A and B are shown apart, each in its own frame.
Chain A
Amino acid sequence: MTVESTSNVNEDEILLEVKNLKKHFPIKGGLMRRVVGEVKAVDGVNFFIKKGETLGLVGESGCGKSTTGRAILRLHEPTDGEIIFHDPKLGKVHIEELNAKDLKRVRPNMQIIFQDPFSSLDPRMTVGRIVAEPLVINNVVKGRALRDRVAELLTVVGLRPEHATRYPHAFSGGQRQRIGIARALALNPELVICDEPVSALDVSVQAQVLNLLEDLQEQFNLTYLFVAHDLSVVEHISDRVAVMYVGYLVEMADTEDLYYNPQHPYTEALLAAIPKPDPRNRHRPVRLPGDVPSPANPPTGCYFHPRCPYAQDVCVTERPPLREVVPNHWSACHFSEELNLKGVPRLNEIPVTTAPSAADANRLQVEGTEPPHSGSSNGEVTVSLQ
């Protein structure tokens, strides 16, 4: 099921390629802790990231996004697949094959920012020691130079150098994330995996941290794999977005393409769950019905079929591969071509309607049993803003 997803992209532009990546966790049971099953947390993921871009990786909790990120960094040993990193000095390296010594040489170029602002900072260390740790491990600088570098890093992320002597418990969630970002930047990485860096933060603080990440990307030429559990956060930071469902990518495209023209029913459902900022269109974001199936015991055929409003018989038996349905737009649905899925409305398509019919128009399709929606009907007036 390997997809040559890099077909029409120039090799030189690519920083990271992930091919058929799998991570299965054994389920152990019984007195002798024998393996009685497997959690297929990541099960055949393919994507690539170009230098300097941000790839959003989106999916509900438990879809295997963090596991994907950690497997790329070998924080989890991948079960199968290839992770090809284009190291600026060492060239093309297969991360999954590296021995401990070579891995240590590559690691400074691939860093990670974590979701949990509490578990990501060792409570016994001062902020200075936390930020200095990568530098100390790699023996980059020492003594006064080390202190200066830590002060510089803290300034870069919007903290003050004197914060170095304090302990993490003295900081707010947003500040803690900044500390985590400073640590990730310490070794001047190429690739930063941002594992839901703002999910645990207040909405007001989220925007600040996102802005910081965007500024840093520009300043230091960073490439991001940006993980999020809903599509609202990644929209303005991502160049492209990959949507993940139960260990598998179901859709990948340029951000605009994916938002306006989703090709997979799961993406459509995720888009419907985004809170709408448009005041005329205000409604409660709709939670997706049903739960993410357990990766230990996934459904047959298309993993999304129990929740998919468009499911047909074939969906129960056959698993759709991720394929390029439109140029540069991959989707894993048998019916991508036939379905006319609803994305977010383009600004110039936002209907001006009275409140009741707006509510009507926003009825979540996933929940309904009606056949695929065919464009904007319902007597909405589409006004052009141009």
Chain B
Amino acid sequence: MAVQAGSADDTRAVAKKDKQDAGQMSQRQLMFRRFKQSKLAVFGLIVLFLMYLMAAFSSFLAPYDYDAIDSSSSYKAPTKVVWAGGPAVCGEVQTLDEVNLEWKYANDCTKTYPIQFFNRSYPYKLFGLIPTNIHLFGVPQQPADANAVPTEGQARPAKLYLLGGDKEGRDVFSRMLQGSRVSLTVGLVGVIFATVLGSILGTASGYFGGAIDNVMQRVIELIGSIPTIPLWAALAAALPGNISVVRRYFFITLILSLIAWTGLARQVRGKVLSYRTADYTSAARAAGGSHMRVILTHMVPNAMSHIIVVAALAVPATILAETTLSFLGFGMQAPAVSWGTLLQDAQSIAVVTRYPWLLLPGVAVVLALVCYQFLGDGLRDAADPYG
């Protein structure tokens, strides 16, 4: 063959040789490389990973049953942890204020009770499967004390309420851990539903165009024109009140995804619209490839990184939506806990000023949202460094 494999074209190939490793990297690998360079995104990812890890091990990490009412610990301030050859809590003396008929608590640090790790306490099922009663830490109650009415004037080990107690005397720390299971996953699962729905509809809309596209666009506009919070609230309010927690959870995710898919479908449609007219699509068609094949081998893989980015950016809004709904009383309902339902306790200024630790679930929400935002921004920059 008389092709000059030499000269300009090939010298470039040689020049590219030292970049060979980059040449063999797929776009996803290159994207990952760019992602790692974004400190905030990596920070967000790590924090979120820890948060999900904590949610997964919530019962193991929670020293108390999140739903155990203890009237003697109502609005209990965060327990002071002291050092006595190891972390420990002080004793606590309960006295009755005869004038106001109120229990008063006083710390008696002359006697300390060490915090025990891998402590045995209330039973639970790890991952809903493995029955156990081991918790990461806790302060053993004296067996006799466990259910007994506290005796006046007698010191007993203080309950280890790291983040204080709520009105019913439940441990806010344990409740936040429990609530994270709903709050961190409702948004994620909702976005996953929305992503599947939005990707399918957006791809069909962008690839086939015509009437399908027309109808889809109008539906999206219609949904977009309704204010989201009232729509969510109306849909959630339509749920029967007596359904199980799991059912309710499922329906709430559906309601959230019902609105989240539209943004995704729009984005995917736009991308597919540009891939559809790309010459590689024509090449595949010219070689006899079916529409389905073109969609599965060219449209979807190309749109995938974009889909992931848009989905990641949609999670915080959905988490916030669940929190808002639950806060307003339309979302998850007792006995289920989520950060939103926990924040219901912090609805009155009077309560918040006196017991500021009740606002801590809000801090958790903000942390999760910020981390998701960092993550989404990092993914977006990595996927589209010039966009």
Q: Is B104 an interface residue (CB 8 A)?
A: no
Judging by beta carbons under 8 Å apart, are A33 and B214 in contact?
A: yes
In the complex, which of the residues B4, B19, B25, B293 contacts A137, with contact meaning CB atoms closer than 8 Å?
Answer: B293
Judging by beta carbons under 8 Å apart, are B288 and A104 in contact?
A: yes
In the complex, which of the residues B13, B286, B289, B293 contacts A112, with contact meaning CB atoms closer than 8 Å?
Answer: B286
In the complex, which of the residues A126, A133, A156, A170 contacts B289, with contact meaning CB atoms closer than 8 Å?
Answer: A133
Judging by beta carbons under 8 Å apart, are A166 and B279 in contact?
A: no
- Which chain B residue lies CB-closest to A115? B279
Least CB distance from A341 to B in Å reads 36
Interface residue stretch chosen among A14-22, A205-213, A350-358: A205-213
Check A211/B3 contact, CB under 8 A, given A170-B19, A175-B12. yes
Q: Digit string of B269-300 for contact with A (CB within 8 Å is 1, else 0)?
A: 00000000011101111111100010001100
Main secondary structure of the interface of B (DSSP, over half): helix
Q: Is A57 an interface residue (CB 8 A)?
A: no
Residues 1 to 37 of chain B near chain A (Cβ within 8 Å): 1-5, 7-10, 12-13, 16, 19-20, 22-28
What chain B residues lie within 8 Å of A116 (beta carbons)? 279
Judging by beta carbons under 8 Å apart, are B3 and A205 in contact?
A: no
Residues 108 to 142 of chain A near chain B (Cβ within 8 Å): 108, 110-112, 114-116, 119-124, 126, 130, 133-134, 137-138
Judging by beta carbons under 8 Å apart, are B286 and A122 in contact?
A: no
What chain A residues lie within 8 Å of B1 (beta carbons)? 156, 158, 215, 219
CA distance A203 to B3 in the complex (A): 17
What chain B residues lie within 8 Å of A294 (beta carbons)? none
CA distance A204 to B301 in the complex (A): 35
CA distance A122 to B288 in the complex (A): 17
- Which chain A residue lies CB-closest to B25? A167
Check A134/B302 contact, CB under 8 A, given A170-B19, A215-B2. no
Q: Is A202 an interface residue (CB 8 A)?
A: yes
Judging by beta carbons under 8 Å apart, are A172 and B278 in contact?
A: no
Most chain-A CB neighbours within 10 Å: which of B13, B23, B280? B280
Judging by beta carbons under 8 Å apart, are A158 and B5 in contact?
A: yes
Q: Is A307 an interface residue (CB 8 A)?
A: no
Q: Is A147 an interface residue (CB 8 A)?
A: no
Judging by beta carbons under 8 Å apart, are B24 and A167 in contact?
A: yes
- Which chain A residue lies CB-closest to B7? A208
CA distance A380 to B64 in the complex (A): 106
CA distance A208 to B5 in the complex (A): 9
Contact residue range for chain B?
35 or more
Least CB distance from A47 to B in Å reads 20
CA distance A205 to B7 in the complex (A): 9
Least CB distance from A75 to B in Å reads 5
What chain A residues lie within 8 Å of B302 (beta carbons)? 122-124
Check A158/B288 contact, CB under 8 A, given A169-B23, A174-B9. no
Judging by beta carbons under 8 Å apart, are A167 and B289 in contact?
A: no
Judging by beta carbons under 8 Å apart, are B287 and A205 in contact?
A: no
Judging by beta carbons under 8 Å apart, are B301 and A124 in contact?
A: yes
In this complex, how many residues of chain A approach chain B with their Cβ under 8 Å: the count is 53
Residues 7 to 60 of chain A near chain B (Cβ within 8 Å): 32-33
What chain A residues lie within 8 Å of B7 (beta carbons)? 204, 208
Q: Is A276 an interface residue (CB 8 A)?
A: no
Judging by beta carbons under 8 Å apart, are B27 and A211 in contact?
A: no
What chain A residues lie within 8 Å of B19 (beta carbons)? 170
Least CB distance from B208 to A in Å reads 14
Judging by beta carbons under 8 Å apart, are A119 and B280 in contact?
A: yes
Most chain-B CB neighbours within 10 Å: which of A111, A122, A123? A122
Q: Digit string of A157-199 for contact with B (CB within 8 Å is 1, else 0)?
A: 1100000011101111011001010011011000000000000
CA distance A167 to B13 in the complex (A): 13
Judging by beta carbons under 8 Å apart, are A212 and B3 in contact?
A: yes
Check A133/B9 contact, CB under 8 A, given A123-B27, A123-B302, A215-B1. no
CA distance A170 to B4 in the complex (A): 20
Judging by beta carbons under 8 Å apart, are B16 and A171 in contact?
A: yes
In the complex, which of the residues B13, B280, B288 contacts A138, with contact meaning CB atoms closer than 8 Å?
Answer: B288
What chain B residues lie within 8 Å of A319 (beta carbons)? none
Q: Is A70 an interface residue (CB 8 A)?
A: yes
What chain B residues lie within 8 Å of A124 (beta carbons)? 26-28, 301-302
What chain A residues lie within 8 Å of B24 (beta carbons)? 165-167, 170
Q: Is A73 an interface residue (CB 8 A)?
A: yes
Judging by beta carbons under 8 Å apart, are A172 and B283 in contact?
A: no
Judging by beta carbons under 8 Å apart, are A166 and B288 in contact?
A: no
Judging by beta carbons under 8 Å apart, are A75 and B8 in contact?
A: no
What chain B residues lie within 8 Å of A167 (beta carbons)? 23-27
What chain B residues lie within 8 Å of A171 (beta carbons)? 13, 16, 23
Least CB distance from B43 to A in Å reads 29
What chain B residues lie within 8 Å of A108 (beta carbons)? 287-288
CA distance A104 to B288 in the complex (A): 5
Q: Is A149 an interface residue (CB 8 A)?
A: no
Check A75/B286 contact, CB under 8 A, given A122-B302, A171-B16, A212-B3. yes
- Which chain B residue lies CB-closest to A134? B287
Q: Is A283 an interface residue (CB 8 A)?
A: no
Least CB distance from B152 to A in Å reads 73
- Which chain A residue lies CB-closest to B289? A137
Judging by beta carbons under 8 Å apart, are B8 and A204 in contact?
A: yes
- Which chain B residue lies CB-closest to A103? B288
Least CB distance from A217 to B in Å reads 12
Residues 92 to 111 of chain A near chain B (Cβ within 8 Å): 103-104, 107-108, 110-111
Judging by beta carbons under 8 Å apart, are B8 and A111 in contact?
A: no
CA distance A375 to B280 in the complex (A): 48
CA distance A115 to B278 in the complex (A): 11
What chain A residues lie within 8 Å of B5 (beta carbons)? 158
Judging by beta carbons under 8 Å apart, are B9 and A172 in contact?
A: yes
Check A114/B279 contact, CB under 8 A, given A73-B286, A122-B302, A167-B27. yes
CA distance A167 to B293 in the complex (A): 21
12 A–B pairs (Cβ distance < 8 Å), ordered by A: A108-B288, A114-B279, A138-B288, A158-B1, A166-B24, A175-B12, A175-B13, A180-B283, A205-B9, A208-B3, A208-B7, A215-B3
New A-B contacts (13) at CB < 8 Å, excluding given A70-B282, A172-B16, A208-B8: A75-B286, A108-B287, A119-B280, A133-B284, A133-B287, A134-B283, A137-B284, A137-B293, A156-B1, A167-B24, A171-B23, A187-B287, A205-B9
A→B interface (CB under 8 Å): 32-33, 70, 73, 75, 103-104, 107-108, 110-112, 114-116, 119-124, 126, 130, 133-134, 137-138, 156-158, 165-167, 169-172, 174-175, 178, 180, 183-184, 186-187, 202, 204-205, 208, 211-212, 215, 219
Smallest CB-CB A-B distances: 4 pairs: A170-B23, A134-B287, A120-B279, A114-B279
B→A interface (CB under 8 Å): 1-5, 7-10, 12-13, 16, 19-20, 22-28, 214, 278-280, 282-289, 293, 297-298, 301-302
